[in-house]
Amino acid sequence: MKSKFPGLEEPSRGALRRHFAAIWQKLKNHEPLEGEDKVYADLMQQHAVYHNTWEFADELEGHEYDTETDVNPFVHIAFDAVIVNQVTLDEPRGIKNIYSRLRLKGLDHLDALHEMAGVFVTEFYEISRGRIPYSDERYLRELRKLVR
């Protein structure tokens, strides 16, 4: 079954963190980045609060984040990247319009992504637990609530 969540892959925690560290090094060295790595790099740069995390990402391989009290910056960026990819591809159809409407409401780029990612995370959680099947219609309906 084709993934309805473009851009979301499930690498191991260590592999993801090492990958983020490599992307950060390329950024610091002004090396070119393409594709998904460029999406991650752009998001990593935009989240200044996490710059120190990216600097030591490879050393944080075994670090656990308490999901009740901490934001996992690696997962945060991965979910933001999902939204960037969905908006870029307009998949599901209509999501680009929702993003545009959030921007027109006065949200900056990151705030709009974060609002949309909040809806995505809820959907992803319910679907990954087998509680509900994926539905473009439901997902878009929940996203549209953000622009009312």
Distance CA 119, CA 146 (A): 9
Give the DSSP letter of residue 107: -
pLDDT digits (tens, 9 = 90+) for 39-59: 999 999 999 999 999 998 888
pLDDT digits (tens, 9 = 90+) for 3-39: 444 444 556 778 888 899 999 999 999 999 999 999 9
pLDDT digits (tens, 9 = 90+) for 93-138: 999 999 999 999 999 999 999 999 999 999 999 999 998 999 999 9
Give the domain ranges of the chain.
Answer: 11-62, 69-148
Other CB atoms closer than 10 Å to residue 81's CB: what's the count? 22
Q: Residue 14: its pLDDT value, please? A: 83
